[in-house]
Chain A
Amino acid sequence: MNGKKMMFYLFAFFLLFFSACKHDELQVYKESDNYSNAADFVKNNYNFTLLYAALKQVNLLELLSKEGPYTLFAPSNKAFNDLGIVRAGDFATMNQDSLRMMLQYHILPRVLYRNDVPVNTIDNKYVNLAGKELFVGYKYEKACANCNVLADLYVNGALAPKVTQNTVLANGVLHLIDKVLKYQPNLQNVLSGRKEYSMFVTLLKRTGDWDRLARPDFTTVFAPDNQAFEKAGITKQQLENLDPASYHKRLSRVYLLYNHFFISDMIIYGKQAGSGYYAGPFYRVPVVGDEDYYFAIASNPEMEPFIVEKRLVNGNRPLRKTNLQPGYRTDYKADNGIIHGITDLLVLPSEAKIN
């Protein structure tokens, strides 16, 4: 091989470099900027099959594929399962008007990202498609330099965890929530509509506190269910024959707080000053009409509601404590307050009897 030939092959070889540099159809990974709209997103997400079925049932899908913008607080399938709704056909048997209203209740006619809500605040009110206010809270916490950021949204007490918030849609934003939002016009509607609270309703009617639950003043009710009365050995007959004059007010008023808050509001604001779960509770308030007794909520993870007597030397020791019902049985929102289910009575009739 002579030098000339060598040069020729070298030249030819270098030519290959040029052809290798040619990238007419270069494809780098390109993120899609075509977001799906709310209707399509719900349709294509296996975690929202029940929500999709419900939206389809009342013809809201068409609305959600329009321009919007919308914020959709989307209950997961688990949230519907908690209410006993397990298959798509279950929605067909429901009252279609209330179903439609309840789904509109989950949709805001605006875009609301997490960062639009001020950190560590509650009661940020946004009007939804049903014309009612949703109460949005935002818990932000970074407890230490290496800790994970806690950035949870709460809407009417339902948790929208950090990882499934802020799903960008072509026509808005979607936040997954862990329970279905519940709404009734007033507190009486909630309690009388649920047969597990019938004995509590009887008690309130006997003691004269029932009327307040129809008034516009805010009340937050911690409602013991029928099982709680049965556990304490109290029958409906006894409640009907109860003479309210011979009992202290705390018999019924311990369950009625003249305030308006969701369970999550206590998580956002944190515990009060004091040591321990009971002396440094999430919340403590005198029982209206029986101010020596306090209703309180312990700052332990279970958030036990309890009652204390202030006059005692050890005034922070619970006289009696109970537990909250699971999340899907708390945070019943009404225009004049909120109802949370509890599992035990806080005051037994024998303890509240006037001697």
Chain B
Amino acid sequence: MKNKILILLSVICTAIYLSSCKKTDYRVVEDPAYIRVFNNLTYTLTLDNKEELQPFFCMFIDPEFDATGKPSGGLVVSDFLDKRGIYAAPNAAHAGLSTSKFNPEYPGKELVPTAPILNGFDLTNWAQVKSGKRRFLFMSRPISNVPFAKLPDEQQRKVFLDTVINLSVREVYTLHVLQKDFKTKKNGLYVRQETFHKQAFSDTLSYVNFYNLSADGFMSAAPELKLPVPATSSMFRFGIRDTMNVFMTHIRTDGVDFRGNPKHARIPAFSFQFAGTVFRTLHDPKVTPYYGFPIFLKSNKEVYSDTWQFLQFCVPPIDPATSMTYAEPPDGGAGASVESLKGRYAYLRMDHVQYNPNYYLNAAFPGLTISTHSGIYNPRTFGVVNSIEIVNGNVFLTTVQRKYPQPIY
């Protein structure tokens, strides 16, 4: 009898123990909107602009405040929001790779529910946030590894930007903290509702569109006020004009030279192709038209391409096909110093091979297609959807990819 009671008790205990096991608590966002936040302010503080706040943020969505009026929490708290990198890769590039707390975008390294695959687009880099009217508060904070809540009190009270925006259900948004006026140093939040997942893109083409989000008065400001910004394209350092035509030239690698370096040559029939006009649309956050171009496979037996794209930005009267002033792609010469061009001409090299993220003032960006191991092919080249954003002296590339077959090893 005693034994039976003991057995019974132990069974009950085991049952309680097992039932109290940890359960996974899925974080569900009701009626989500999908957002991605970039900090486009790349200035460093100098004696001339020392009254400005440090462009390094702790972002609060729907903030809550403590009794003394400093933000203590909210729907979303994203600390260490650093200036964005020049390339926002299509994959979850920040997941588990970096030991730095500094986050080049939101969600970036934050472990939050990310957006699903929407109409074939992999939106890993977009975070889910409750839709509706949301208050965004960006607190300026010193550049350090100390979490916002542990900073000295007076450093938790520097409001950089405080605004309310309306997010619709299951829409995709890209948010930019931007300088709105170069002279008054006024900053603002630029909210763009993306449409790429609603457009009928062809699987066999790659796409790119262009934005000029430079501040009012940046182009016309004196060149010495435009400080060099690390890791960006020097051709754009002094800005470009408000209306620029874009021409795309496709470059193929063509054997090697006597040193063994690859030779590059433009594809004559796909040179100087008009790829649209970029207007300065800082105050008009609309998606600009996408320009599609084919992927030039190495041969009809391969699924890989090593061609790359040479983009020329010219003021409307200039046609790079007939102009003798500017060097012919893939050569980058502009025939004059960047400053003396006064924003009439600039170029970008879009090539994964030449791109070096560590190079100061580079003009080589990642290519506008991606090559990756997919299925039995390694590598296989895919068309993607790109956005090139020109912000004051900087150029940023954002790439979004579609869903591809898993690699088979």
Q: For the complex, would chain B's binding face be called helix, strand, loop or mixed by DSSP majority? A: loop
The answer to whether B228 and A269 have CB atoms under 8 Å apart is: no
Q: Is B47 an interface residue (CB 8 A)?
A: yes
Given contacts A118-B143, A119-B142, A121-B142, contact A283 B47 (CB under 8 A): yes
Q: Is A229 an interface residue (CB 8 A)?
A: no
Measured CB to CB, the nearest residue on chain B to A126 is: B154
Q: Which of A221-265 contact B (CB under 8 A)?
A: 259, 261, 265
Residues of the B chain whose Cβ atoms lie less than 8 Å from the Cβ of A261: 47, 50
The answer to whether B155 and A118 have CB atoms under 8 Å apart is: yes
Measured CB to CB, the nearest residue on chain B to A284 is: B224
Q: Is B149 an interface residue (CB 8 A)?
A: no
Q: Is A58 an interface residue (CB 8 A)?
A: no
Q: Is A285 an interface residue (CB 8 A)?
A: yes
Taking a contact as CB atoms closer than 8 A, the residue among B46, B54, B155 that contacts A272 in the complex is B46
What separation, in Å, do the CA atoms of A283 and B48 have in the docked complex?
A: 9
The answer to whether A269 and B45 have CB atoms under 8 Å apart is: yes
Contact-residue bracket for chain B: 10 to 19
Q: Which of A79-134 contact B (CB under 8 A)?
A: 116, 118-119, 121-123, 126
Q: For the complex, would chain A's binding face be called helix, strand, loop or mixed by DSSP majority? A: mixed
A127 to chain B, nearest CB (A): 10
Taking a contact as CB atoms closer than 8 A, the residue among B45, B48, B152 that contacts A116 in the complex is B152
Q: Is B220 an interface residue (CB 8 A)?
A: no
Measured CB to CB, the nearest residue on chain B to A272 is: B46
What separation, in Å, do the CA atoms of A118 and B54 have in the docked complex?
A: 11
Given contacts A116-B152, A118-B155, A273-B228, contact A266 B47 (CB under 8 A): yes
B137-148 interface code vs A (CB 8 A; 1 in, 0 out): 000001110000
Residues of the A chain whose Cβ atoms lie less than 8 Å from the Cβ of B155: 118
Residues of the A chain whose Cβ atoms lie less than 8 Å from the Cβ of B227: 273
Measured CB to CB, the nearest residue on chain B to A116 is: B152
Residues of the B chain whose Cβ atoms lie less than 8 Å from the Cβ of A285: 48
Measured CB to CB, the nearest residue on chain A to B152 is: A116
B289 to chain A, nearest CB (A): 38
What separation, in Å, do the CA atoms of A123 and B53 have in the docked complex?
A: 11
What separation, in Å, do the CA atoms of A273 and B46 have in the docked complex?
A: 11
The answer to whether B48 and A119 have CB atoms under 8 Å apart is: no
Contact-residue bracket for chain A: 10 to 19
What separation, in Å, do the CA atoms of A272 and B152 have in the docked complex?
A: 30
The answer to whether A269 and B144 have CB atoms under 8 Å apart is: no
Measured CB to CB, the nearest residue on chain B to A257 is: B47
Q: Which of A262-282 contact B (CB under 8 A)?
A: 265-266, 269, 272-273
The answer to whether A259 and B143 have CB atoms under 8 Å apart is: no
Given contacts A116-B152, A269-B45, contact A122 B228 (CB under 8 A): no
Residues of the B chain whose Cβ atoms lie less than 8 Å from the Cβ of A265: 47, 50
Residues of the A chain whose Cβ atoms lie less than 8 Å from the Cβ of B50: 122-123, 261, 265
Measured CB to CB, the nearest residue on chain A to B228 is: A273
A133-171 interface code vs B (CB 8 A; 1 in, 0 out): 000000000000000000000000000000000000000
A262 to chain B, nearest CB (A): 10
Residues of the B chain whose Cβ atoms lie less than 8 Å from the Cβ of A123: 50-51
Measured CB to CB, the nearest residue on chain B to A310 is: B224
What separation, in Å, do the CA atoms of A269 and B154 have in the docked complex?
A: 22
Residues of the A chain whose Cβ atoms lie less than 8 Å from the Cβ of B142: 118-119, 121
Given contacts A118-B143, A119-B142, contact A269 B152 (CB under 8 A): no
What separation, in Å, do the CA atoms of A122 and B142 have in the docked complex?
A: 11
The answer to whether B46 and A269 have CB atoms under 8 Å apart is: yes
Residues of the B chain whose Cβ atoms lie less than 8 Å from the Cβ of A273: 227-228
The answer to whether B47 and A259 have CB atoms under 8 Å apart is: yes
B310-351 interface code vs A (CB 8 A; 1 in, 0 out): 000000000000000000000000000000000000000000
Taking a contact as CB atoms closer than 8 A, the residue among A118, A122, A266 that contacts B144 in the complex is A118
Q: Which of B10-55 contact A (CB under 8 A)?
A: 45-48, 50-51, 54
A215 to chain B, nearest CB (A): 17
Residues of the A chain whose Cβ atoms lie less than 8 Å from the Cβ of B154: 126
Residues of the B chain whose Cβ atoms lie less than 8 Å from the Cβ of A283: 47
Q: Which of B355-404 contact A (CB under 8 A)?
A: none
What separation, in Å, do the CA atoms of A269 and B155 have in the docked complex?
A: 20
Residues of the B chain whose Cβ atoms lie less than 8 Å from the Cβ of A259: 47-48
Residues of the A chain whose Cβ atoms lie less than 8 Å from the Cβ of B54: 121
New contact pairs (16) apart from A121-B54, A269-B46, A273-B228, CB-CB < 8 Å: A116-B152, A118-B144, A118-B155, A119-B142, A119-B144, A121-B142, A122-B50, A259-B47, A259-B48, A261-B47, A261-B50, A265-B50, A266-B47, A269-B47, A272-B46, A273-B227
Could you name 10 residue pairs across A and B whose Cβ atoms are closer than 8 Å?
A116-B152, A118-B142, A118-B143, A118-B144, A121-B45, A261-B50, A265-B50, A266-B47, A269-B47, A285-B48
